[in-house]
């Protein structure tokens, strides 16, 4: 397992809602990572059991920066939505539900 497979967790309103309702967590991963590699990395990093992994390739975006408003291209990125088995959770995500 490559330790750099998982780049960072994606913490948005939608991803926190998915964590609370469906026990699914979203991470930004390396573009060339496979589902099996992602599942192994998550299981090893957070000591949880992974049920399924869904991957999404995000398109590159262009933006304008600087005084001269030069065009810059943000690279393509890959997201992985990891569903854990019932009873497992990752403490990084504050589920924010009413308890």
Quick: pLDDT tens for 10-38: 999 999 999 999 999 999 999 999 999 99
pLDDT tens digits, 37-77: 999 999 999 999 999 999 999 999 898 888 888 888 889 99
Domains of the chain plus CATH, in order, are 6-62+69-84 (3.30.70.330)
pTM of the predicted model, to two decimals? 0.82
Separation CA 9–CA 11 (nearest Å): 6
Q: Which residue in this structure is represented by tokens 């990125």?
A: 77
Q: Is 23 left (phi over 0), alpha (psi -120 to 50) or beta?
A: left
Separation CA 49–CA 42 (nearest Å): 9
- Residue 65: the pLDDT is 85
Pull the structure tokens for residue 35. 């589902």
């Amino acid at each position: 397992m490559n330790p750099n497979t998982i780049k960072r967790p994606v913490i948005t309103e939608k991803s926190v809602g998915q964590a609370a309702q469906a026990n699914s967590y979203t991470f930004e991963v390396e573009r060339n990572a496979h589902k099996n590699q992602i599942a192994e990395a998550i299981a090893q990093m957070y000591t949880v059991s992974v049920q399924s992994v869904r991957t999404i390739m995000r398109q590159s975006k262009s933006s304008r920066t600087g005084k001269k408003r030069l065009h810059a291209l943000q690279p393509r990125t890959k997201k992985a939505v990891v569903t854990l088995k019932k009873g497992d959770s990752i403490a990084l995500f504050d589920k924010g539900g009413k308890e």
